[in-house]
Amino acid sequence: MKALITGVRGQLGGALVAAAPEGWTIIAADRAKLDLADASSVRARIITERPDVVLNAAAYTAVDRAESEEDLARAINAEAVAALVTALEETGGRLVQVSTDFVFDGTSPRAYQPGDTRNPLSAYGRTKAEGEQALRDQDLLLRTAWVYSAGGANFVRTMLRLMREREELRVVADQIGCPTWAPDLARTIWGLVTAGASGTFHHSDAGVASWYDFAVAIQEEALATGLLSRPIPVQPIATSDYPTPATRPAFSLLDCSATRALLDDGYTHWRANLRLMLEEEKALG
């Protein structure tokens, strides 16, 4: 079996390559080898390679910048998905599309289920929702949230840097969701692929957190690991105290029960995965 993985220089793309099951031929594509903003180049690459599965881990993820670059975000997050689907119609392959909690509006009274109605609040969310709409019944959609990994560009590493540089941090406490460690996300995606799953699934780590909760845990675990040498005060603030160009959902917890039931694998609490990531970060130096 042959899989083409996009976005291999990103956190998830790299984790997907690392977690590839035995017996799969992997074509690792970064932006230089596959520019998702160029639909004709996307089609040509699929027709040439003829993969059985495309794992689309690439995306335009600059949430705030997307408010002023919505056309570019749409080209990568939606039009490229449609181009992949069209090409795979010709070759007989299927698409695994990775999407986001930002397709929801944050008003649900419970964790979002895969079949819940999309109502994105931002350009980023809108373009990812449009990408979802391009999928066929035989394709696989996996939504996730708050992804991080050692060595990547993410909230954990930003917090570590700021905690070293500043005397105090203020972090939003009224946006609720759950972090996702990229290696576990990659294992779930491969599990669904090898199980032949299609349709919509969710994956995040177990548990619930605000960004403030996450930041506090990062400091505590980093102090225990030796990545930080001193604690600083971390103050909770409201979203209104930290205005951004893009509106974010206040509550975007994902219901992952269908994923876990299909794979029968359980899943790990976000704090335990954070600890593992920080050990990896320390090993990277």
Q: Which residues are catalytic?
A: 124
Contact in structure between 221 and 283 (CB atoms under 8 Å): no
Question: Residue for token digits 């505590």?
Answer: 220
CB burial class (10 A; 0-12, 13-18, 19+) of residue 236?
A: middle
Distance CA 136, CA 95 (A): 9
Q: Render 160-209 in DSSP notation, one character per residue.
A: HHHHHH-S-EEEE-S-EE--EEHHHHHHHHHHHHHTT--EEEE---BS-E
Q: Residue 69 contacts by C-beta under 8 Å, 6 or more apart in sequence?
A: 60, 62, 123
HSE of 105, CA atoms in CB hemisphere, 13 A: 7
Q: Name which of 76, 103, 75, 62 is nearest 200 in CA terms.
A: 103
As given in the structure block, the two tokens for residue 94 are 């299927």
Phi, psi of 142 (to 5 degrees): -125, 115
